[in-house]
Amino acid sequence: MAHVRIEGGDLIVEIEGLNKVWALKSRITVPLTNVRGATVDPGIMGEPKGVRSPGTHMPGVIVAGTFHSGGERIFWDVRDARKAIVIQLEDEQYARLVLEVDDPHAAVDLIEHAL
């Protein structure tokens, strides 16, 4: 699971617990100027993930780490699709962040309000 917060002019994503191990990453920081928006998207888990590089994909259990799909680099950290959000980025190492958060609607509201 991930924790999302706004600090100064940055979006900060902290990967929590063992997901740090599965995702091979503990923190992502993105300037708000490079965030295009965020949505709640529980259906995202049904989409193809792409090529894992590096990361973990155990269908029905977890998707975590960096994946390449359709020419995009996407960061995933999701176990429970019902809590998934998608953050669209521009001019960053990732095109999208697909994250499981405690309260998807609150996280999206936080991001959208900061934009």
The residue assigned the tokens 């995702």 is 23
- Edge-to-edge strands, sheet with 51-58: 35-40, 84-89, 96-100, 72-78, 62-69, 51-58
Tokens of 19: 């997901």
Does the pLDDT value for residue 94 go beyond 90?
yes
Does the pLDDT value for residue 102 go beyond 90?
yes
pLDDT digits (tens, 9 = 90+) for 26-38: 999 999 999 999 9
pLDDT digits (tens, 9 = 90+) for 19-64: 889 899 999 999 999 999 999 999 988 888 888 888 888 888 889 9
Length of the chain: 115
| Total count of domains within the chain | 1
**Domain enclosing residue 71, as ranges:** 2-114
Report phi then psi at 86, rounded to 5.
-125, 125
